[in-house]
Structure 1
Amino acid sequence: MKNAIEVNGLRKEFKSYSSRSGLKGAFRDLFSRNYKVLRAVNDITFTVKQGEMVGYIGENGAGKSTTIKMLTGILTPTAGDVLVNGMNPHKEREAFVQTIGVVFGQRSQLWWDIAVQESFRLLKKVYKVSDEEYDRHMGHVIRTLDIEPLLDKPVRKLSLGQRMRCELAAALIHNPPLLFLDEPTIGLDVLVKLKIRDFLKEINEKYNTTILLTTHDLTDIEALCDRVVMLDEGHIIYDGALKDLKETWGEGKEVQFQFLEGVDLAVLENVTRELPVKWELEEKEQLFTAYTTDEANAVSDLIATVISSFQIKDVKIMEVSTEEIIRKIYEKGEV
């Protein structure tokens, strides 16, 4: 199986200018500027095989969007080599864009004031897609994403969920072998997210479409990706199977409590101070979550201790979530 993406020693640096204070400093800035070099992406190396669905994750400012912009040819790397679909995104621009689809959750590729179907027709001409090919492929995309009732509406009159489904359809007009998705489900409700996830799985299975997905919604990653690449301060700190990450870092249990009466977190922590437990409170729902170990009696000891002191309305025992695992890794700074 050949590689859809090959990245070797990729780096991107930006110059950040700082102004001197006061009138004298402003005058000096006219002749010489102070600046420092910020390294957004720091010598990363990875490959993505054709047909893979890979989650590219990290905190805000980790370098995810900068990487995507280099892989799609929007930004030129400071150093390193990039090969996407066998081409250099910056040197073979015209041929390259025919082989990729891009969806940025916070930017639109549709024309704001014209009907969705007119945007589709313009993109069809840009990508030189034949009428027959467009009807065959886009008919399926439009039905699956349920956007037929939206085609004659101007983009500015669509809700966020409606617009994102249309954006996804627009990125697939030329049926590209590689799809970049940068926060595609940001701000969407659960039903729209499920529809988009199901659709992405379908095009991956039907066309072997390679998908690189960046998102802060880890349920998207869990639903779609077997592999994750984790970025922190421009460095890759993990690249491998999601299940391996869970097996290595997912030690312990989450026990969630709801009480019949108001409980003070400090009192709860004091009652369980002898146990290997860490508490968190979700104030809005008054949910108390205890993180404890996998040791034989840890959960039963915890529940017994809590029940002896408080009246419980509900209790749930869960494996440690992917979100908690990722948080632990970032707190430590390495895998």
Structure 2
Amino acid sequence: MSAAAVAWDQLAMELASAAASFNSVTSGLVGESWLGPSSAAMAAAVAPYLGWLAAAAAQAQRSATQAAALVAEFEAVRAAMVQPALVAANRSDLVSLVFSNFFGQNAPAIAAIEAAYEQMWAIDVSVMSAYHAGASAVASALTPFTAPPQNLTDLPAQLAAAPAAVVTAAITSSKGVLANLSLGLANSGFGQMGAANLGILNLGSLNPGGNNFGLGNVGSNNVGLGNTGNGNIGFGNTGNGNIGFGLTGDNQQGFGGWNSGTGNIGLFNSGTGNIGIGNTGTGNFGIGNSGTSYNTGIGNTGQANTGFFNAVNRPGESGDSLI
């Protein structure tokens, strides 16, 4: 759990850094190099993502705090428990007194030994009750992470709702520029620079095609956010081999708290080998995982789990409330 607390703290810092970087990039776009209705539409669409990132960072920090609190609770309980050596010494003294009690002369000493043993039991029961209450309080303080906004798919519609005259003027002004290597807004072709371009190898935003650089792109090998296709880099992407946040598919990398599949790192993942909270499968690391073996965390169900509130554990396992 100490390692889990450190991992959650690192995740919180990564999310906070991502939120700050995202805010810096989008603010620079809409405030300097990209102006107009399409810029305003992009800013309105990505604002919920910025808020979600900040909220996720704060929630990850709270999870780190709760994990650290659980570690402190466990250490306090272990320190308050009667040491096994004292229990063994008490039982050894009792045996010695019983074997030498030929004429009943050791009766008072035997009674005192038994009273001390009962006191040990009372201490341990009280400590374990406090431990259960503390651990339950820590677990109940954890809240589910919310899924990120999915409104980037509405960006084309938002741009279409922008004043038609602005888009028409941009298209008209672009007709005299090189057809296949244009600079401007709402260009059609390939190798262009600007926003809302149609083609391939475009640099800007909301470009449909392949190998685009920007945000809201549709195609393959795009770099940005809200891309749809394969091999994208960013977050909110859909496809295979993506790197970023909220990816759907196989061989993903990043913090995908809403991902489903195998080998994911994040929150509420489903599959095998996941790391996070609320995972379902085998070999998970986190809190509230379900599976059959090798889980580590709180409230796991399966075999060979390490933690507490685990169920159906194999011989030799360590933990609390084992079944």
TM over 0.5: no
Question: How high is the TM-score relative to the length of structure 2?
Answer: 0.22
Query: RCO (CA 8 Å, sep 6+): is it higher in 1 or 2?
Result: 1
Give the structure with higher Rg (CA). Answer: 2
Question: How high is the TM-score relative to the length of structure 1?
Answer: 0.21
Q: Whose strand proportion is higher, 1 or 2?
A: 1
